[in-house]
Amino acid sequence: MDYLDKNLREIKEHEFEVKLTQIAGNFLDLKDNLDHVLLISHRDADGYACSAILKIMLEREGINYSTRYYNRKNTWKQYLDSIIPQFDYIENLAVIFSDIGSEINELGRYFSTKNIAVFILDHHEMDIVEEEKLPHNFFFLNPTTYGYDGLKEIAGSALVYLFAKSISHNNIKTAWIALIGISNDTLMNVQDYRSYNHMVVEEAKAEEQINLKQGLMVYGATHESVKNALAYSLYPYIKEVGGDPNIAREILEQLKIPANKKVAELSSIEVEFINDRFPEKLLGKYIQFPEKKGILRYAFEHGLLISQLAFKSPHQAERLFQLRSTPIKSTEIYQNYIRNLTKNLTSFVTSPKEVTDQVLFVDATRRLSPNFWSDVASYASVNHLYDQKKVLFLGGIDGNFVKLSIRCTDQYPPLIEGKGVDLLIQKLKKIYGGMGGGHKLAGGYKIAPNRYKKLKNEIDQYFPL
């Protein structure tokens, strides 16, 4: 789905690439005088991939660095007040925000009194920027302002990869890392990648960093036996199996396919038999890292494990980029995650839902584990487990707020005009306050409980977007 006509797209693409060259030039002008760079990124696979690429870039340039990961638990001021003073002793400091930091005006105000160079490389939708009020040493690049889809066309790690490659072409060696972030942010079949996301695949393939395999598409469980892959596949989620490997085994026995056979070992005929058996589309491509084993051999699963370890063991999450095989404890964490997530998706299908003309509300409180709210919303969306003409609001009480994961599917009608949940969240913040933001297809929003009750009663009046 394209949001720009071809002629406008060519103009905007040129403008974006000029800006990319410019911001890379800004960094090159400063780098020889930098004593240290602080990397701040999102605490998920895309964010970790961004930091991994930037660390390699900085090491190649001989620049010291530190890394931090932010998950929007506090305001930017609260978070930065706890971080930036730790680096007051450094004379020439730069901060690079990646996959996070679309609140350009807020960050500009924060750094306006500080002698720190700031770079922001983000792919989330932004509010209108008051550029005249930004500090002189403040540089940002966001492809959504040039009409790009921040998920389908250019994930955060794809943007950072472009930036790093503009600093030095040697950073083309990090293309495979970008694919870990891209695969987890887009939640798409690799063969459907577009624009810069697709370009990264092609460059990684040309550099022999990856193998691109055609076969059974069971993202989340590509490393598993076939029976477990069908049970624990997250995209597509197979409703008939519903997370139960015993059901998968029975079906495979009927097809005369060994249930314990590995997905990568299936013949093309066996893949066709399985695909024909289910209504979900199970034919696709997946990215394989030839130098890695087990979970880490597959781009989507590699990133999914990073996202899980990011909260439990951040250092271990960072180490995964260097490891060839998965530590036993990490494997256990991953297996528990995909089993619980498919269980929660099954619960989502049967959960009570409040329906308005435009919105589907799911109260996840006490029904779904809070740790899975965002992921259930995302996978429910990409798997089209709800009415595709409505917006999904899934969440519940989280401390003093109602925490909501807001999603729409790729078939949501307003997307034809480039309008999605990011615009809806902007509208709601203006009326009801709260915090949040996101992409056209996915976003998060926190709101006071009393205002949420009012929002639910009034929601339809904010459509059409």
Backbone angles phi, psi at 322, to 5 degrees: -90, -20
Return the pLDDT at 9.
75
d(CA 384, CA 412): 10
Residue ranges per structural domain of the chain? 6-185, 211-345, 353-462
**Cα radius of gyration (the chain):** 22
Which of 57, 55, 110, 103 lies closest to 80 in space, CA to CA? Answer: 110
As its CATH architecture, domain 353-462 has: Roll (3.10)
Mean pLDDT of the chain, nearest integer: 93
The H-assigned helical ranges of 173-244 are 175-186, 195-206, 226-232
Contact criterion met (CB below 8 Å) for 259 and 253: yes
Does the pLDDT value for residue 48 go beyond 50? yes
pLDDT average, residue stretch 225-249: 97
Does the pLDDT value for residue 4 go beyond 60? no
pLDDT in tens, 245-266: 999 999 999 999 999 999 999 9
**Would you say domain 6-185 falls under CATH 3.90.1640.30?**
yes
- From first CA to last CA, the distance across the chain in angstroms is 18
pLDDT average, residue stretch 184-198: 92
Which of the four pLDDT bands, split at 50, 70 and 90, describes residue 5? low
Burial class (CB in 10 A: 0-12, 13-18, 19+), 36: middle
pLDDT in tens, 309-368: 998 888 999 999 999 999 999 999 999 999 999 999 999 999 999 999 999 999 999 888
pLDDT in tens, 370-387: 889 999 999 999 999 999
Does the pLDDT value for residue 74 go beyond 80? no
Same fold yes or no, 6-185 and 353-462: no
